[in-house]
Each structure stands twice: as structure tokens, then as C-alpha cells.
Structure 1
């Protein structure tokens, strides 16, 4: 059978739903997932709808294209997700002199929480930019952060928090004279991992 297709089994619908959820969480189309995994669009569509069961080899391609572990396609939905400090997955949204970590599951679409460690002089870039979301929240854990909007700059010190519309063009930076700054960001809904970026 093409694309390592096998006869449909009892778990096909559940696996297909998890693939669909992970794909939508990253704002990928079926065609994009098919191209990234080297499988046909029709096959991926059938797998998502539970009409075909993919082989392990095909599922490895799909999970690899989605950037998720193969095991996550077979897990029962959990009521909680724990990310230990030693296991923060690194994620890049661009910018410079900044390390970012994803604290929420990649499949979580409702909210996205990021931890940014920004070196002195680092940030998203000078040019303000909008993000596709409904609300954005920033909490400065340590250091000092400057957030630039079209009408001025807001300086946040350690312990300060700000909630704002991510569609409003903005940029952030840590002054060269400031210490390394740690910021906790929350964005609703989650940004697509493949296309969202912090403009350099």
C-alpha cells in the first residue's frame, strides 16, 4: 500500500486525532505536514480521519515533521503536564542574545508560556512588530526590560507585570547597562511554532 498504509485498527481514530491536534497547534496545513514528512496529502488526511492506520515508519516521519515524540501519538490525554526545570525545551522566536524555553506542551493551543533569558543589549530587535494573538502577558522575574510601543517605551523592573494586545506593534530589549534579565511571557492563543518569530 502507498505511504506504508495498513488496514484500519481500533486505535486509528485516536492517533489521527492527536496528529490533527498537533498539526493545528502549529498552524500547519495537511499539505504542509505531508510535504515535511514526505508522505502524500491524501494519506495524511486519511490517517487524521482514522480511515487509514500508518506504519511505525510513517508515524516517525509525521512526528518528526511535527517536532513531537512518537510516543505522544499513543498517550492517553493527561489532566496535567509537568515540565521540570532541567527539561525546559529550547525554542527560538528570533531576536539576538536571548535564550527562550517553552514551558507549555507543544500541543497546547489555548495558551503558550515562554521563559526568556536575555543578555545585556539583547532583545527582539529595534523594529516593533505585531503578533497573532488575543492577549500577551509579561512578568519580569529578574533584571529590567524595556518594551517599545508606537506611543513610547515602558520599562519593567523585577517583579513588574504587563498585559497588552499582541496585535499592537511592539519590541523589547535589555539595556546594555542592565543585568541579564529573565522574563516570563504568556500568549493566548499559542503562537504557531513554525511561522511565529521575534523579528531580528
Structure 2
């Protein structure tokens, strides 16, 4: 059997933005990177705009100065798409609510949950205060108004408002005006559950 030649990829991997981000994270100017690598400012600028491809040795030189691995420039970032229409329904103990998990079930760093209380429903997190095994929790009100109880401290949050607090602090919430639809987004970090519900 005869070996077939491997065709090169037609798409060129854009690495300029990652080099620029690494340079800025190191708080270096193009001039400083130029001086450290002995490459011209114009060449570095063209590399950062993906207008030229550096040789492997030049790329190693730039990465050494920026203290990043060459492979990091080509690493595909993890990304997951969750359709709001197909997001799994979950039950966190709320009353008269439609709750959906918007982040992947396997994600351990963060969890995003959508809560919808349909018009005409008196939705709430329940009468009793509850806690969540999460260091940080953020509640953002997309639509409607809710009364939030954080261990006796009360807030009234309306469309566009957010509240950040410890999930381990006893809390609950309830809709103030049941005549309109209420939509909430909860962000929990780290994710208190990383498996199915």
C-alpha cells in the first residue's frame, strides 16, 4: 500500500490576539517586547495582527520572554453551547418556578441557572431560608421584581438589578408582583452540583 501525502490545513491558525493578550497581561509594551527579543516593533505588531507568520524559533523567543508555552497559542479553548429551549429542567425546591440549567452538567467551576415565574404565579424560593454549597452566588433580575431575604436583611430587586452574596448564607426570595412574568439568572461558583439532578 502506498502512503498518501497529508494535505496541509487550509485555515491558518490566528495566534496574534493570544500573543497580544499575553504581552498585555505581562504589562509589556511592544517596545519592551521588541527590546527583549531583538525583533523590530513593526514585525511584532504585524505578528499580533496576524499579518505575518513568525518562524518557530522566533515564536519560541517571543513565548520565552512572555513566559508562556508555545502550545498555549494553538490550544483550542473549551466551549459548550446550551440552548435555552433544550436546557435541562431542574428542581431546586422553589415554588411555582420553571428552573433550567444553562451551564453544562459537568462544569465544576461555575453553574448558571435560569428561573422563570410565569405571570399569575406567586413564585418563590420557598418559605424557609436555605443555603447552597457555593462560595459565591449572584442573582440577576432579567424581568420582574423580587424580595430577597439574606438571613433577615431584605432587598427589593427589580429588572436589571444584581445581588452578590455567599451561597452558604441562609436566604430565600419571592416575587412581589405575580401579575407579570419574572425571569432570574443565578450564577454559582464553584458549582455545588456537577452531576445529574
TM-score class, shorter-chain normalisation, is: 0.5 to 0.7
- Say what the alpha-carbon RMSD is for the aligned residues: 2.2
Residues 106, 167 of structure 1: CA spacing in aligned structure 2 closer, same or farther, 3 A cutoff?
same
The equivalent residue for 1:104 is 103
Asked if structure 2 preserves the Cα contact closer than 8 Å seen for 1:143 and 1:179, the reply is: yes
The equivalent residue for 1:42 is none
**Alpha-carbon distance in structure 2 between the residues aligned to 1:130 and 1:85:** 26
Q: 1:192 Cα deviation (Å)?
A: 2.1
**Alpha-carbon distance in structure 2 between the residues aligned to 1:179 and 1:133:** 30
Q: Does 1:190 align with 2:152?
A: no
1:71-110 equivalence runs, <5 A = 79-110=78-109
**Alpha-carbon distance in structure 1 between the residues aligned to 2:152 and 2:110:** 27
**Alpha-carbon distance in structure 2 between the residues aligned to 1:163 and 1:97:** 24
Asked if structure 2 preserves the Cα contact closer than 8 Å seen for 1:135 and 1:166, the reply is: yes
Q: 1:178 Cα deviation (Å)?
A: 4.9
The equivalent residue for 1:154 is 155
SS in 1 for 2:176: coil
The equivalent residue for 1:31 is none
Flag structure 2 segments of 5+ consecutive residues without an equivalent: 1-75
Query: Structure 2-normalised TM-score?
Result: 0.56
SS in 1 for 2:164: strand
Flag structure 1 segments of 5+ consecutive residues without an equivalent: 1-76
RCO comparison, higher one (Cα < 8 Å, 6+):
1
Residues 86, 150 of structure 1: CA spacing in aligned structure 2 closer, same or farther, 3 A cutoff?
closer
Moved over 3 A (4+): 193-196
Residues 178, 162 of structure 1: CA spacing in aligned structure 2 closer, same or farther, 3 A cutoff?
farther
Asked if structure 2 preserves the Cα contact closer than 8 Å seen for 1:144 and 1:179, the reply is: no
Query: Structure 1-normalised TM-score?
Result: 0.55
Higher strand share: 1
CA shift digits 1:168-193 (9 cap, x unpaired): 10001112545221000000111226
Higher helix share: 1
